[in-house]
């Protein structure tokens, strides 16, 4: 049976008539539009419909991977693992299966769903499928193991798989191994791996180093983290902005002057702070009650070659609300709307409650109208409940929403 027909049949079996009716006809969905819709679609049936309508048109492995992983994530969250397996297995007869990047997407997708046995089986089938096996697919398998939270399995696989198939781990392989040690609570083994990499002349990437650094800080081992940092700097290792940001993040709850010192260190290293760097500096000012300086950092973002993101707006709005300066928070919110970077549900709920508290009903109603237009569909039920509790809902809205259940906390976190 042709691949496209198989997918249509699978879609028909997996998607309810009601869900299918609410999705734009496949012929009218462009690839870019599909990717955009998948990013904000939380209904697994609708996500599946969107993906299958354009999957055969994806020209690059990266585009296919992006769309498939979003779809699999939605199905897995709904615990529809049989649908995940049907979707992935149906693609093994596609002519592109002989292309290693295409097959790697299937392995990674199984990992996202936490279905490691199926990921390993797919890797084992590569010979029969006619797919070349290199470090690329090996890395996909290791990643799937980590994504399935089977961190203890990765070190053994790191030794056994290369021996069995004659593969040579590359710098990415070692990076995944390091991540498994960190996730398993063994950063000391991750550091030992860095030494092994140097002995074998395998490049220690900034990502690999940053993984360990971040883990040490998160475990409260700041002294060990700083010691590791100093060692890498002495060895002349090139550390990127992300690595510097980990140090800045760890310092943001303390003295803003310390954050500024780390900021200067980043710049002196010949690097340019990014939006994340400035967000941490801004947060340090907010936490120290220096809102004027935080606002100054925000206002100079574009002058410094950066653009505010959703975290920028969330941080400022949250701290304005803590200070009960809800009007200032509302002004920041309006800018976030223009930038299409509206903060999460919880932040918006706190802001609208504050506006009602200080009798700024016009602003509160304006905010709710905007939220209902901009928020993902799965959060509108919860937002209607907020409207009713605050007396902002119209009579029609209140009546229509009277028996609506609130969206789960898990959905809210995912959307944020």
- Total domains present in the chain: 4
Residue 405 domain flag: no
Does one domain contain both 39 and 154?
A: yes
Taking 60 as the threshold, does the pLDDT of residue 137 lie above it?
yes
Sign of the CA dihedral running 185, 187, 188, 190: positive
Does one domain contain both 152 and 75?
A: yes
pTM, to two decimals: 0.77
* pLDDT tens digit sequence for 33-46: 777 777 777 778 88
Does one domain contain both 146 and 195?
A: no
Q: Domain ends where: 169, 184, 215?
A: 169
Q: Domain ends where: 219, 239, 259?
A: 239
Distance CA 110, CA 231 (A): 38
Pick from 45-49, 99-103, 192-196: least confident? 45-49
pLDDT value, residue 59: 57
Which residue in 106, 215, 107 sits closest to 161, CA to CA?
107
Residue 139 domain flag: yes
Percent of the chain with pLDDT over 70: 83
Does one domain contain both 290 and 233?
A: no
Residue 133 lies in domain: 35-169
Q: Domain ends where: 152, 169, 186?
A: 169
* pLDDT tens digit sequence for 383-415: 888 888 888 875 334 433 433 333 334 334 333
* pLDDT tens digit sequence for 339-357: 999 999 999 999 999 999 9
Residue 335 domain flag: yes
Residue 413 domain flag: no
């Amino acid at each position: 049976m042709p691949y496209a027909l198989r997918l249509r049949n699978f879609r028909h079996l997996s998607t309810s008539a009601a869900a299918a009716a609410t999705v734009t006809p496949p012929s009218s969905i462009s690839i870019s539009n599909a990717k955009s819709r998948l990013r904000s679609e939380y209904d697994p049936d609708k996500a599946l419909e969107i993906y299958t309508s354009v999957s055969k048109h994806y020209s690059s492995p990266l585009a296919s991977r992006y769309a498939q992983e979003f779809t699999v994530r939605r199905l897995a969250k709904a615990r529809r693992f049989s649908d995940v397996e049907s979707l992935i297995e149906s693609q093994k007869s596609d002519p592109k299966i002989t292309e290693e990047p295409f097959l790697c997407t299937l392995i990674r997708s199984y990992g996202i769903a936490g279905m490691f046995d199926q990921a390993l089986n797919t890797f084992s089938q590569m010979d029969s499928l006619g797919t070349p096996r290199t470090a690329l697919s090996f890395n996909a398998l290791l990643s799937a193991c980590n994504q399935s939270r089977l961190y203890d399995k990765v070190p053994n696989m790191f030794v056994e798989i290369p021996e069995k198939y004659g593969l040579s781990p590359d710098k990415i392989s070692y990076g995944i191994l390091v991540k498994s040690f960190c996730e398993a609570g063994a950063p000391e083994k991750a550091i030992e791996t860095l030494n092994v990499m140097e002995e074998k002349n395998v490049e220690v990437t900034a990502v690999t180093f940053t993984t360990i650094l971040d883990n040490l800080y998160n475990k409260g081992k700041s002294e060990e983290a700083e010691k590791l940092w100093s060692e890498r700097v002495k060895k002349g290792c090139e550390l990127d902005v992300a690595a510097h940001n980990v140090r800045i993040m760890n310092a943001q709850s303390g003295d803003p002057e310390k954050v500024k010192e780390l900021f200067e260190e980043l710049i002196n290293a010949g690097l340019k702070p990014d939006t994340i760097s400035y967000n941490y500096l801004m947060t340090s000012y907010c936490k120290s009650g220096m809102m004027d300086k935080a606002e100054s950092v925000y206002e100079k973002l574009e002058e410094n070659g950066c653009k505010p993101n959703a975290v920028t707006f969330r941080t400022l709005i949250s701290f304005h609300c803590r200070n009960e300066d809800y009007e200032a928070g509302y002004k920041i919110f309006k800018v976030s709307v223009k930038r299409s970077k509206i903060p999460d549900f919880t932040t918006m709920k706190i802001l609208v409650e504050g506006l009602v508290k200080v009798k700024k009903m016009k602003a509160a109603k304006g905010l709710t109208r905007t939220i209902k237009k901009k928020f993902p569909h799965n959060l509108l039920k919860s937002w209607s409940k907020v409207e009713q509790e605050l007396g902002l809902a119209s009579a029609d809205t209140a009546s229509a929403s009277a028996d609506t259940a609130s969206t789960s906390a898990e959905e809210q976190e995912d959307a944020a």
